[in-house]
Amino acid sequence: MIAPIPSPIWQPAAARVIPISAPANLRTRGLVPEIVTLSWAPKSSADNFDFSLDLSEILSCTADYIASVTARVTTATGSGSDLVVLWVSIVNGLACVFLGSGLPGTTQTVRVVVGTQQGRVIAQEVLLSINSYSQATSPQPVPTLPDGTPVPPNAIRLPDGSILTDDNGQPYIIA
């Protein structure tokens, strides 16, 4: 697998990046309860925004890097205005999740699972408050492949405008 290269096309918003810290002391881990609640900056239902996790501290000195990202909203109820994951990608070494919609006045939980090239699996739940500045809206559409697979902005586009995909139909990305 090739290590990620910087994306010249698209940049995640720095204001919506959360660094994931390594545990302070592994010897006492488990003896002292660790209550860490992470949360991204609030958004309105009408906004489609990128939210990212920076795992560089956890992966420091390992020669490892992010190879895959999945995300889901664990608090989704099935309504048309639920917070939804529109796409996930790896951008400049960050696990990036693009979220839209959300019921105003609620706090939603997004579970992000990151797989690394060396086989590590890092799961993190992050809270996201949906403010009451706008009414509940449906998510704005994002580009998709004919089969409905979302296309992140750092997908590789061929000269004819088509998106380069792997054998499973997933877009290749500039990570």
Predicted pLDDT at 2: 52
45 — alpha (psi -120 to 50), left (phi > 0) or beta? alpha
For CA atoms 87, 88, 91, 94, the dihedral sign is positive
Residue found by looking up tokens 């529109």 in the block: 86
**Block mean pLDDT (10 aa), the chain, length 175:** 60 92 65 74 95 94 93 92 95 95 96 96 96 91 93 91 92 87
**What is the rounded CA–CA span in Å between residue 83 and residue 65?**
28
Residue 35 has a pLDDT of 63
pLDDT at 42: 96
Is-contact 90 4, C-beta < 8 A?
Answer: yes
CB burial readout 98-107, b (16+ within 10 A) else e:
bbbbbbbebe
d(CA 43, CA 142): 18
- Predicted pLDDT at 1: 45
The full DSSP string for 97-114 is EEEE---TTEEEEEEEEE
Q: Is 50 helix (H, G, I), strand (E, B) or coil?
A: strand
DSSP string of 60-90, one letter each residue: TTTT--EEEEEEEETT--S-TTS-EEEEEEE
pTM for this one?
Answer: 0.88
Predicted pLDDT at 22: 75
Write down all domains in the chain, each with its CATH number in brackets.
Answer: 14-130 (2.60.40.10)
